[in-house]
Amino acid sequence: MAEFLIKNGFVFDPVLGIKGDKADIAIKDGKIVETTALSSPKIIDASGKTVMAGGVDVHAHVAGPKVNIGRNFRPEDKLFTYKPGHGIERMQGGFSVPTTLRTGYNYARMGYTTVMEAAMPPLYARHTHEEMRDTPILDQGAYPVFGNNWFVLEYLKNHEIENTAAYIAWLLRATKGYAVKVVNPGGTEAWGWGLNCDNVHDPVPYFDITPAQIVKGLIEANEYLGLPHSMHVHANNLGNPGNYTTTLDTFKLSEGIKPNSKFGRDQVMHHTHVQFHSYGGDSWANVESRAKDIMAYVNSHDNLTIDMGQVTLDETTTMTADGPFEHHLTELNHLKWANADVELETGSGVVPYVYSPNIKVCAIQWCIGLELALLAKDPMRVFMTTDHPNAGPFIRYPRIMKWLMSEEARKQQFDAFKHKDKVIEATNLAGIDRELDLYEIAQMTRAGPAKSLGLSHMYGGLAPGLEGDVAVFDFNPNEPYAPDAIETAFSNAECLFKAGVQVIDDHEIVSNGNKRTLWVNTKVNENPQVMRDVKEKFLRYYTVTLNNYEVSGHYLPNPYVIEVDATQ
Amino acid sequence: MAISVNLITGRTIQQGVSMEAGKEKPAYTTACGIIELDPVDFKRLGAYRNTHVRVTSDYGSVVVKAVEATQGPHPGVAYIPMGPWANMVVNPNTYSTGMPTFKGTPVQVEVAKNEPVLGSLELVRKGCRGELA
Amino acid sequence: MTKTVTDVICPFCGTLCDDLEVVVSDDNKQLLEVYNACAIGAEKFLHSQAKDRITRPRMRQEDGSWKEISYDEAIEYTAKMLADAKKPLMYGWSSTNCEAQSVGSEIGEAVGAVMDNTATVCHGTSLIAVQDIGIPSCTLGEVKNRADRILFWGCNPAHAHPRHMSRYSIFPRGFFTGKGHASRKVIVVDPRPTDTASIADVHLQIEQGRDYELLDALRVAFKGEKLPDVVAGIPKAKIYEVAETLKSGRFAIIFFGMGVTQSIGKNHNIDAAIAVTRDLNEYTKAAIMPMRGHYNVTGSGQVWGWLFGFPYAVDLSRGFARYNPGETTSNDLLRRDEVDAVFVLGSDPGAHFPFSSVKKIYDLPSVAIDPHETPTTEVCKVHVPVAFVGVEIGGCAYRMDNVPIETRKVVDAPEGMMTDEEFLTHVLARVKELKGV
Amino acid sequence: METVTLTIKNQPGLYLEADTITPDAFAGKKAEEIVDLPVYVGREQHRLGDFFDVSGKAGATPAETKIVVGGDLSRVKRIGQQMTGGEIVVNSNTDMYVGAWMQGGKITVNGNVDAFAGTGMKGGEITVTGNAGNYLGAAYRGDWRGMAGGKISVAGNAGSDLGTFMNGGEIVVGGDVDVHVATHAEGGKIVIKGNAKSRLGGQMVEGEIYVFGNIDVMMPGFAYREDVDIEVNGTKGRFALYEGDLGERHRKRKGQKIYGKLYQLVKA
């Protein structure tokens, strides 16, 4: 394989602790190596430019059934945003819900190389894998959802952690999944009857269990298995005024549980898109930021990581396994609503949404997301996301960088709000003058998420031995720049290497890379009871047979299996 | 004497089975080269069951065998199983939706005792070559 | 000796039953028996064994007769036809697997084709409605386990989806529906007293073509507003009664079919039915589902969705994907003389398009890829027989509720026959050569 | 105002996509530059000059540019698409998408237009002396933002799906209309001087429809309220006022529910 030497760039790498110093980065045989290991590398002159590891997205909705509903039911999202094929690039379409090809190319342009699909309905695992297969360049994995799964509800009702763990291991293997995802625990099952679980103690109809029991039990089962990632939760009560208390109650469920993982993570809970969960007030009229309370908790509890879910002020498409929330949303904005409940497992909904700077609530949401990041004491535990496409499309990450790195850019946005004064009153952001630097950005977008995923042995840094995922941006951090220059430079990587293959050269996509699908194969002790339960449920309640459930290797042409041994 | 009826088309199990067994086979014609009429309409037409009839709309004409409605009564409504016979007469107007108006075509039905019901391949071939009466 | 293959997926309709058992000879050459399938599904498996099956490509001669040609010649003809055309129509894609659909999409992209599937004459108008108003839906297992109000509107599963009622909708005993049929109220809306209507609790024999009005009347009734005395031939008392029945259920499901998608109003009928479903969610839980026809028409819409962003009628001619039914749909393209070549795979427009469109196919350069001899193969210039997907080759298919299932190969195709995917892969390679890419 | 005259000289084998025939694309250009603008037949790109004789020159801005198109344009699509100002006169029947997503200026078609004219129109004026096809002044597929402003006048008949998802602006049809008028509308005004068939105002939230002739079948969701004496586009008379769609959601203003309004002429 080719050798590359990226010379003289300003390097930002939390793994090596380099904070913008000039350094040379060497790539050989797909990995980062010591510069001395190269014999005749292709030289990339990065002088005056920024060099970082490939970006890692811990939470985005980029592949699978609800994403495709979003594409297919929004032809207007593609109007006048088409891009013809060019060179090796195939044709691309879609703004808020891009086609798989555009997804791969646009992440690559931002210097991202690993993207996790945040919610895979197990019964639709094949679909998710088909889309990931057709997403070029990126390494991907998908999180099957567990928080409303009938097996889990029945086992955890009696706190049967070992059975839950055995079932998780089985389902991860059957679906070729990566981690344990929980969305509105219990609430989506309640939505099967048009109901919801509004807080962590609100019992799930019929199943006689509370969201708190589900979340805590799944954390314990996750640690019983020692999976690479922690339990990854989207709590109850998303998007409602006053919901920050539910969020804090959910956080607290992680207390007292220690990580048990050989994969280097320190957290037992990842709470996603916390912006949507940090609202005070009791109505849309008096909704306010509670980011300070939320971050006070996060900053003082190190077994927890979070991501932002930053609102980007775009017209977008919301989609989540939180079925009741999407119904609530369509009743608010009257736009088209898709819902897809999945037997024994989960549900989902999709509704377009316009985050307008002229609407007070949207502007407050924008503030809250930024506050979370700017109040973070440890950027290794607070990650940049938009919960793509829920709070905005992922292509806005460079714009979020601009807002995080420049108080001036935030002021410009405040000035553009119609209800600026009311927004300032309801939030803390105007009083925060912190400006993040690129090192902190690299923590939030590279090293932090990689560590949280249990993948710091592969991604997130530039230390020898890690994957050869390296991005070069046409940005000189040592010279004065306008805020917009950040967005421009980080939207359009000059060079990108993915597993040692040059994917972007001089801002042009030159390779479709060698995408891999990551999944976790967990070895557990034989558990006849769980296997009996699985057989029975398939016989009686599922509409596919057990033998037609497991995703075959055929769907993962280039798998990367992470082996976990939980037999001890 | 011709009668006017409202024609709809659709699937039948016989249409499905014979289609999978081969559209070139006589069973397909038996299943789909028919029009299901209500007894009341048979009376209006003055014809016996299982008589060949000519069905004509603004869009075309086809000879099929008239049989008694299997899922009736539905006076004034006639049914030809989906297939090339029905498609000789259905309203192709899509109203700019892509979808022809397969259901709800006003047609005239008249007795055509001595005219043959063609097989599917022959019907389509002759139609394309302009060889149909 | 024989062996039995279990958990076989039926490649006929969108019900995509996956519990068939097929007995084959030990050498995988002969398919002998089919169990658990409906009459249509069984026939599909058994027909693959027909002795008179066409196993080699053929080309129509000047005198109207067929001449056998090699697969290579068929590939050459197809690739040249597509590469030469300014705007070819590549139609069908519903009776094949997603793997073939994916390769076909790449061909379409390379030649600037319009890609359309059988939804165009089936549930295309449903897809338009979904784009306008959305669709609250669910998997079929949700229906089995929860639904106590089953409404079939303009569909007749007894004939079109024969095992639907026993597997999913009327009869099964699910988790919350332990009494099966007895735990459910079944309503059928159809202008004919169909065989499905005969097992319903209520049949509304609607005046044909007045679905939009009746659906609107239900919405008026939900809100307790006044109705005219009779709507669509149904007395208002009956409409109020049915509205109450739906509202009083714990979980209502509406299944709909060609009765609404193909009658006047088309997408608007579905739009109104979805609006009814939305309304019901203010009182109880409700979902709605199209009774998709071909076993993998849903899959082609999914594949094009993630590759192009649209579920059917995708115009790639300008190098990017555009969509507008009425313009980019097969029957409009053919009627308006807007395409200059026709490629058909996995469908039979010759039998299922209005004849005026069939005549246009006959007048154009055309290729049909189909295991069967059909009215389409009869009017095309070249017919390429292929292996039966789901019988002689596996691959992914999507059920009517979008659940993907991997179909199984149960028996070998006749010696030397290509699969859809193989044929298309060769055509793609040749197209790329011709285009110099 | 400067005038550019286009006369079609070659008919396309299939259809010609000519979204470059707009004052916006022509502004600031001379005839010899205009002939180089791209047009498409299927996947093939051509020059406008391959199909049209071009004479005259454009003004400096779209607003100062008038385009007169002649010859048989029945196989030409997208004339005036997305135009923001200026004027186009089409002296022929023409195909789909005339003035689609138009924001300003004026289009006059001396002939018929096919479907999707005025799709997603925001402003400006379209006048058709003949008939219009389906989806006149309607929204693009999936978009809840249909016609928002401007005016469309058709002397003859219009097809189905007139003003679907209309939010504003005005459509006047001199003749008859086919099924589905103002479906899902949340605003705007539609005047039908001839007869209508059925499905007027289905799922209508707000807006106004005026019908001077017959209505074959009234939506069950429309209820008769009262007779009113009003003047509509120069016609004074007594109209029966219906409100609906009662099955649809409606906003409240000052405690009053706002319905879609359907006026049918009772007596001129």
* Residue A546, CA distances (Å) to A490, A509, C143 in order: 46, 42, 19
Among A298-302, A440-444, C433-437, which stretch is predicted with the lowest mean pLDDT?
Answer: C433-437
Query: What is the rounded CA–CA span in Å between residue A50 and residue A446?
Result: 14
Mean pLDDT of chain B: 96
User: A75 and D141 in contact by Cβ < 8 A?
Assistant: yes
A1 has a pLDDT exceeding 90: no
Q: Which CATH superfamily is domain C124-290 in?
A: Dimethylsulfoxide Reductase, domain 2 (3.40.228.10)
Backbone φ, ψ for residue A389 (5° rounding):
-95, 20
Closest to D90 measured CA to CA, from D18, D172, D150: D18
Rounded to a whole number of angstroms, the distance from the CA of D130 to the nearest CA of chain C is 20
Residue of A96, A334, A351, A356 to mutate, testing the D interface (most D Cβ within 10 Å of its Cβ)? A334
Provide, as residue numbers in chain C, all residues whose Cβ is less than 8 Å from the Cβ of D81. none
**Residues A177-234: tens digit of each pLDDT:** 999 999 999 999 999 999 999 999 999 999 999 999 999 999 999 999 999 999 999 9
Nearest CA in chain D to B96: D134
pLDDT band at residue C1 using 50, 70 and 90 as cut-offs = confident
CA distance A434 to A451: 25
Res C437: pLDDT: 80
pLDDT of residue A74: 98
Min Cα–Cα distance to chain C from D32, Å: 25
% of chain A at pLDDT higher than 70: 100
* pLDDT at res. D268: 75
The complex scores an ipTM of: 0.97
**Mutation site for B-interface testing, chosen from C156, C159, C205, C391 by largest number of B Cβ within 10 Å:** C159
Check CB contact under 8 Å for C318 and D17.
yes
pLDDT at A408 over 90: yes
- Whether A539 has its CB under 8 Å from any CB of chain C: the answer is no
What distance in Å separates the CA atoms of residue A433 and residue D256, rounded to the nearest whole number? 48
Which of D116, D160, D177, D181 is the best residue to mutate to test the B interface, defined by the most B CB atoms within 10 Å of its own CB? D160
Report chain C residues whose CB lies below 8 A from the CB of A63. 306
C331 and B100: CB-CB below 8 Å?
Answer: yes
For residue A53, what are the contacts with CB-CB under 8 A and spacing of at least 6?
A13, A15, A442, A446, A447, A459, A460, A461, A462, A466, A469, A470, A471
- Window C:346-365, CB contacts with B under 8 Å: 348, 350-359, 362-363
Of D130, D136, D123, residue with least CA distance to D108: D130
Distance from CA of C163 to the nearest CA of D (A): 34
pLDDT surpasses 80 at D210:
yes
Distance CA C277, CA C256 (A): 12
pLDDT tens readout for residues A453-481: 999 999 999 999 999 999 999 999 999 99
pTM metric for this prediction: 0.98
CB B42 within 8 A of CB B66: yes
Asked if A188 and A174 count as a contact pair (C-beta separation under 8 A), the reply is no
Return phi, psi of residue C26, to 5°.
Answer: -55, -30
User: What is the percentage of chain D residues whose pLDDT exceeds 70?
Assistant: 100
Which among A83, A91, A134 is the nearest to C306, CB-wise?
A: A134
Q: How many CB pairs under 8 A join B and C?
A: 189
Whether residue D242 lies within 8 A of chain C, CB to CB, comes out as: no
Record: contact A75-D140, CB cut-off 8 A: yes
Which chain C residues are Cβ-neighbours of A85 within 8 angstroms? 109, 319-320
> In the predicted model, is pLDDT for residue A129 greater than 70?
yes
Which distant-in-sequence residues (6+ apart) come within 8 Å of C205 by Cβ?
A: B74, C190, C191, C192, C193, C197, C233, C234
Q: Which alpha helices (DSSP H) does C342-385 contain, by range?
A: 349-352, 355-363, 375-379
Chain D interface mutation, best of B95, B97, B99, B101, highest count of D Cβ atoms under 10 Å = B95
Q: Compute the mean pLDDT over every residue in chain A, rounded to the nearest whole number.
A: 97
Contact (CB, 8 A) for A393 and A96:
yes
Specify if B133 maps to a domain: no
Nearest to D245 among C216, C218, C339 (CB): C216
pLDDT score at A212: 98
C44: enclosing H helix or E strand: helix C39-47
- Rounded to a whole number of angstroms, the distance from the CA of B102 to the nearest CA of chain D is 17
Tell me if C131 and A72 make a contact (CB, 8 A cut-off).
yes
CATH classification code of C58-120+295-435 = 3.40.50.740
- Count Cβ atoms within 10 A of the Cβ of residue A546 and give its class: 0-12 exposed, 13-18 middle, 19 or more buried: middle
The rounded percent of chain C whose pLDDT value lies above 70 is 100
Per-domain boundaries in chain C: 2-47, 58-120+295-435, 124-290
CATH number listed for the domain at residues A53-452 = 3.20.20.140
- Report CA-CA distances (Å) from C402 to A233, C139, C295: 26, 8, 11
Q: Which of C329, C324, C331 is nearest to C361 (CA)?
A: C331
Residues of C in contact with D17 (CB under 8 A): 318
pLDDT of residue D267: 82
> Considering only CB atoms, which chain A residues are within 8 Å of C135?
73, 338-339
Chains interfacing with B (3 or more CB pairs < 8 Å):
C, D
What would the mean pLDDT of B78-90 be, rounded to a whole number?
Answer: 98
C-beta separation of A26 from A5 below 8 A = yes
Average pLDDT over residues D125-140: 98
CA-based nearest distance D164→chain C, Å: 10
What pLDDT is stored for residue A376 in this prediction?
98
Residue C261, φ and ψ in degrees, nearest 5: -75, -25
Asked if omega into B73 is within 30° of 0 (cis), the reply is yes
Search chain A and give the residue with CA nearest D146.
A76
Domain boundaries of chain A, sorted by first residue: 53-452
In this structure, what token pair is assigned to residue A93? 């379409």
Question: Does pLDDT of B133 surpass 80?
Answer: no
- Assess contact for C406 and C11: CB atoms under 8 A: no
- pLDDT surpassing 90 at residue D141: yes
**Prior bond to D245 cis, omega within 30?**
yes
| Cβ pair C253, C276 in contact under 8 A | no
* CB-closest option in C162, C192, C266 to B71: C192
Q: How many distinct structural domains can be found in chain B? A: 1
Q: Do chains A and C touch (3 or more CB pairs under 8 A)?
A: yes
Pairwise CB contact (< 8 Å): C402 & A65: yes
Mean pLDDT across the stretch C322-334?
98
Is the CB of residue C226 less than 8 Å away from at least one CB of chain D? yes
CATH number of the domain bearing residue B46 = 2.40.40.20
pLDDT at A2 over 70: yes
Beta-carbon separation of B96 and D134 below 8 A: yes
Distance CA A188, CA A192 (A): 7
Question: Which chain C residues have a beta carbon less than 8 Å from that of A91?
Answer: 109, 308, 316, 319-321
CA distance C223 to chain B (A): 31
Closest CB to C321: pick one of A93, A330, A343: A93
Write down the pLDDT at residue B1: 81
Which sequence spans correspond to the domains of chain D?
112-267
The whole domain housing B41 covers 3-128
Which one of C130, C218, C220 makes the best mutation probe of the D interface by having the most chain D beta carbons within 10 Å?
Answer: C220
